[in-house]
Amino acid sequence: MEVSRFSGQAFLITGAASGIGRVLVEMLAEHGAALVLCDVDTERLEATRRALAETGRRVHAIAADVSSPDQVERMAAEAFRVAGPIGGLVNCAGIYPVTPLLEMAAEEWDRVLNTNLKGPFLVTQAVARRMIEARSGGSIVNISSSASRLARPGIAHYGASKAGLNQLTAVMAVELAPHGIRVNAVAPGLIGTDRVLAAARGPAGEAEHATKRARIPLGREGTPAEVADLVLFLLSPEASYCTGGVYAVDGGFTLGIPRY
């Protein structure tokens, strides 16, 4: 793979301050991309920006809550102003609280749907309008989840938000195709981010993690870099005929029963 795969191109990544988003921006930067990082966590966002800037990368950070129409509009305007035409967007910001259905407050439901589903709608709308104005085309990748297909207790809001994101991806792909903008989703399974591995360390978490692992045909959790590799492909010209797809990167987690 060439080091300059994305040189001269600018990408906007939400949820860039942590986990999969953070690894993704590091990999895009290694391939020469100019980056605009967006996150609601201002401290981690600044730490991520600083770490990339110290290695000589072209990087801007804009704090914004993806569920706020005003903040998203301001963030998108600033992103195009500082980085020029943005050729790719990754909607990676997401939250995943776990609460049994019968105890779930409506406020928590709203928070999850607003972040994981309304957020990608708002950010994509603001960015796609500017891509169309620039006549640049583009590639948009939504980070979905195996939970969009696989039911498990405590994630009614999360599962619904990610299932909705899959269909939002399909409709956006249809509407934006005439403008040369491709839209795809990547659905990770169990990924060993710091947050997931920390949650797996307690006794309850350990049992849950082991149950999930036992269902994975490839027998292990994935790494953030394995998710990012697929995102890089979808952002690249090599994926020029891919739009509207939901691509699993889950070691076979969602296939069914791995063994008897």
Residues belonging to the active site: 158
Work out whether 41 is an interface residue with ligand NAD (CB under 6 A). Answer: yes
Work out whether 19 is an interface residue with ligand NAD (CB under 6 A). Answer: yes
Beta-bridge partner residues of 14: 38, 91
By C-beta, is 57 or 65 nearer to ligand NAD?
65
Alpha carbon distances (Å) from 89 to 16, 77, 110, 132, 196: 11, 14, 24, 14, 24
Work out whether 18 is an interface residue with ligand NAD (CB under 6 A). Answer: yes
Q: Where in 182-241 is the site for ligand NAD (CB under 6 A)?
A: 188, 190-191, 193, 195-196
By C-beta, is 190 or 232 nearer to ligand NAD?
190
**Main-chain dihedrals φ then ψ at residue 229, nearest 5 degrees:** -60, -40
Least distance in angstroms from the C-beta of 132 to ligand NAD: 24
Q: Where in 72-131 is the site for ligand NAD (CB under 6 A)?
A: 92-96, 115, 119
Looking at beta carbons, which residue is closest to ligand NAD? 19
| Piece of 3-11, 33-41, 76-84, 238-246 that binds ligand NAD (CB under 6 A) | 33-41
Least distance in angstroms from the C-beta of 162 to ligand NAD: 7
Instruction: Please name which of 160, 185, 188 lies closest in space to residue 245, comparing C-alpha atoms.
Output: 185
Residues in contact with ligand NAD by CB under 6 A are: 14-15, 17-21, 39-41, 44, 65-67, 92-96, 115, 119, 143, 145, 188, 190-191, 193, 195-196
